[in-house]
Amino acid sequence: MDSGLAGRTAVITGASRGIGRAIATAFAAEGANVVLSSRRQEALDVVAGELRSAYPGAGVLAHAAHVGDPEQTDACLAATVAEFGGIDILVNNAGTSPYYGPLVDLDGPRAEKTVQVNLYSVVLWTQRAWALGMATRGGVVLNMASLGGMLTEPGIGYYNATKAAVIHLTRQLAAELAPAVRVNAIAPGIVRTQLARALWENDEPRLNELMPLGRIGEPADIAAAAVFLAGDGSRWITGQTLVVDGGAQVRMSVG
C-alpha cells in the first residue's frame, strides 16, 4: 500500500539520532519533505547531508531548537512553512531521562527538565503547528510515548510517568483537534538507542531470550510504525497508542 507520504512535510523533533533519525529516514524514503530538529545544529547537519545524498527527491531542512523553548519552537516551524509551504505531519519524538532512581530522591531541577522535554513540548509544538495551518489544511500528530508509561519499573518511574501523561495527552488532543488533525502515539519497548542504553547495554543476551520475537528493538522497527500512523493507511485511526515491543507485554512467566 502506498503510504501517501510523498510530497508531504514532516517535522521531527529529536531527529539527530535514534528513533527520530530513523523516522526521518523512513519518511524521506517515502518521498516526504523532512524537517530535522534537535538541540545541536552540527549533528542535524550530518543527518541532513546523509538524507540528501540517499534520497535526492526529498526536501530536507535542518533547524536546531530546544523543544521546551517557545521562541526556538516558533523559529523552527516558521522556517518549515517558509521552506515547504506548510506542516502536514508533526512527530513529537524528543525525550530525556536525566534521573535514575527512586521517586523519593528525585530533585526539582531534573523533574522540571523531564516534564519540559517529555510532556510540555508535546503541547507546545502541537499548538504551534495547529496555529500555523494544521487547523485548516489538516494533518497528523504522532507522539512518542513508551511501554514504560503502562508499567512500573525501578529507576525510571518519573520518566515513565511523563510517558503515561503523553498517552493521555494523545487522547485529549485527538478529541480536541478532530476532524482536521489525527493524533496517535507509539509506545516502544526496549529499543537500541542512546537514551535507553542503560536498559539494554549490559543485559542484551538475557533480554533477547525473554522477547517472544527473539530480540530487542531497533529504531527502524519504530520508524515502520510511524510510517503507518502518519500515512493514509491509518486514516480512520486517532487517539490510539500503538505498542511496538517485540511481544514483551505478552511473554509468559517461566518458572
Q: Which residues are catalytic?
A: 159
From residue 226, alpha-carbon distances to 3, 48, 82, 102, 138 in Å are 11, 19, 25, 32, 18
CB 183 within 8 A of CB 170: yes
**Residue 242, beta-bridge partner list:** 186
Strand order in the sheet with 60-62: 60-62, 33-37, 9-13, 89-92, 139-144, 181-188, 241-244
* Residue given cell 497508542 in the structure block: 241
Whole-number Å distance between alpha carbons of 151 and 233:
29
Task: Mention every residue, 6+ apart, whose C-beta is less than 8 A from residue 168.
Answer: none
